[in-house]
């Protein structure tokens, strides 16, 4: 007897059984291995609690959608294009890499690779140059994530001979027609990205997730510096650690501060000063000498030559 021939009560019972079917979300979560990505985020990035919360929310949405597909519950695939806003050095590229990993583990992209580009990679300098450049980048990113840093530079209305608009039009078409095979993440300063979206409503309508990356606090930057040092097999002496704390306080008040990026650059210069100090001292050195940054290596920075605002007024 076919399903159509069965009594209504029987068909109702089958629907009830389908509705009562169960999937162990814990098992699906464990099988997806996205907890590994969360652990990597916590290891690689200090702080950023709001960002990590949003990433977990997106992952939960995708995980549940993955389970819905197992029940043949028809719905459009979630729109996954994103915008990351915030100042330099706040972890946007690192989070984009981890997002690519999550999308791959949950089968929303074929590969887990990230292609990171800027305007120069997409826009040509003469007629007929932009389309091939943009399409080549898209080809490399297909099946993964395309991360466009400082995306607002694609649009330069003040220059009538600028070819950025051509790249924008190609990207918009691909974002709409190939959204099952490519995720685009735009990144940049929040105010500039807001103006960019006002000028390009097509982009705004295709972006489902806007995530703002806050600046790091001083104590978070200290922890970031310690992690960076440990990864390179260095550590601060007690006096150097205090000097480093003072360095961060001063550097954060200066122009062009780029969060973790500025901290990494500062640590590189401290290591240079340590090497110079050891080389000039000559003689025998110990392993402890090789791995220890001293206070003088920190305080030799020009940052300490400039008074703080309250010192200048004293």
**In the prediction, which pLDDT does 126 show?**
81
| 4 — pLDDT class (breaks 50, 70, 90) | very low
- The pLDDT of residue 69 is above 80: no
| 89 — pLDDT class (breaks 50, 70, 90) | very high
- The pLDDT of residue 311 is above 60: no
Give the Cα separation of 235 and 308 in Å (integer): 27
- Tokens at 225, concatenated: 């510096």
Task: Read off φ and ψ for residue 245, nearest 5 degrees.
Answer: -60, -40
Give the torsion sign (CA, 256, 227, 238, 276).
negative
Give the Cα separation of 314 and 307 in Å (integer): 10
Host H or E run for residue 292: strand 292-293
Name the residue among 213, 214, 188, 216 with its Cα closest to residue 203. 188
Give the Cα separation of 234 and 220 in Å (integer): 19
Residue with tokens 């916590």: 42
The DSSP bridge partners found for residue 36 are none
* pLDDT tens, residue by residue, 243-275: 999 999 999 999 899 999 999 999 999 999 999
Give the Cα separation of 25 and 28 in Å (integer): 5
- The pLDDT of residue 238 is above 50: yes
* pLDDT tens, residue by residue, 96-146: 999 999 999 988 899 889 999 999 999 988 888 899 999 999 999 999 999
**In the prediction, which pLDDT does 164 show?**
86
**In the prediction, which pLDDT does 186 show?**
96
Q: What percent of the chain has pLDDT over 70?
A: 90
Distances in Å between the alpha carbon of 182 and those of 30, 82, 214, 215?
25, 12, 27, 29
Q: What percent of the chain has pLDDT over 90?
A: 61
The residue extents of the domains of the chain are 3-213, 218-312
- The pLDDT of residue 308 is above 90: no
- The pLDDT of residue 2 is above 70: no
Tell me, which fold does domain 3-213 have in CATH? Answer: Rossmann fold (3.40.50)
* pLDDT tens, residue by residue, 24-41: 777 888 888 889 989 988
Q: What is the mean pLDDT of residues 67-75?
A: 75
**In the prediction, which pLDDT does 283 show?**
83
More confident residue, 300 or 161: 300
CATH number belonging to the domain at 218-312, selected among 2.60.40.10, 1.10.8.60, 1.20.1560.10, 3.40.50.300? 1.10.8.60
The DSSP bridge partners found for residue 216 are none
More confident residue, 69 or 115: 115
**In the prediction, which pLDDT does 19 show?**
61
**In the prediction, which pLDDT does 193 show?**
94
Check: pTM over 0.75? Answer yes or no: yes
- The pLDDT of residue 159 is above 80: no
**In the prediction, which pLDDT does 310 show?**
53
**In the prediction, which pLDDT does 309 show?**
59
**In the prediction, which pLDDT does 7 show?**
52
The DSSP bridge partners found for residue 212 are 85
Indicate the SS3 state at residue 274: helix
**In the prediction, which pLDDT does 163 show?**
85
- The pLDDT of residue 9 is above 90: no
User: What does pLDDT average to over the chain?
Assistant: 87
């Amino acid at each position: 007897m076919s399903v159509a021939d069965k009594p209504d009560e029987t068909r109702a019972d089958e629907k009830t059984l389908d509705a009562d079917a169960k999937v162990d979300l814990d098992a699906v979560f464990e099988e997806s291995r996205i907890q590994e990505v969360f652990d990597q985020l916590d290891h690689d990035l200090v702080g950023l609690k709001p960002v990590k919360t949003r990433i977990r929310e997106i992952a939960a949405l995708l995980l549940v959608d993955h389970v819905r597909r197992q029940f043949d519950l028809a719905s459009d695939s979630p729109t996954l294009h994103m915008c990351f806003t915030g100042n330099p050095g706040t972890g946007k590229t690192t989070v984009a890499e981890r997002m690519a990993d999550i999308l791959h583990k949950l089968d929303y992209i074929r590969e887990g690779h990230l292609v990171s580009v800027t305007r120069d990679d997409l826009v040509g300098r003469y007629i007929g140059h932009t389309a091939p450049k943009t399409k080549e980048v898209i080809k490399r990113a297909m099946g993964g994530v395309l991360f466009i840093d400082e995306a607002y530079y694609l649009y330069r209305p003040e220059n009538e001979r600028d070819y950025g608009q051509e790249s924008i039009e190609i990207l918009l078409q691909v974002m709409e027609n190939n959204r099952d095979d490519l995720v685009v993440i735009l990144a940049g300063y929040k105010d500039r990205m807001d103006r960019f979206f006002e000028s390009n409503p097509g982009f705004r309508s295709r972006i489902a997730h806007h995530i703002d990356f806050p600046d790091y606090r001083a104590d978070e930057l200290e922890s970031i510096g310690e992690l960076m040092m440990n990864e390179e097999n260095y550590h601060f002496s007690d006096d150097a650690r205090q000097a480093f704390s003072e360095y961060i306080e001063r550097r954060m008040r200066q122009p062009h501060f780029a969060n973790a990026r500025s901290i990494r650059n500062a640590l590189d210069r401290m290591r240079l000063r340590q090497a110079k100090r050891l080389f000039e001292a000559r003689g025998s050195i110990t392993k402890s000498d090789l791995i220890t940054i001293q206070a003088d290596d920190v305080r030799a920075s020009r940052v300490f030559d400039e008074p703080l605002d309250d010192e200048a007024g004293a």
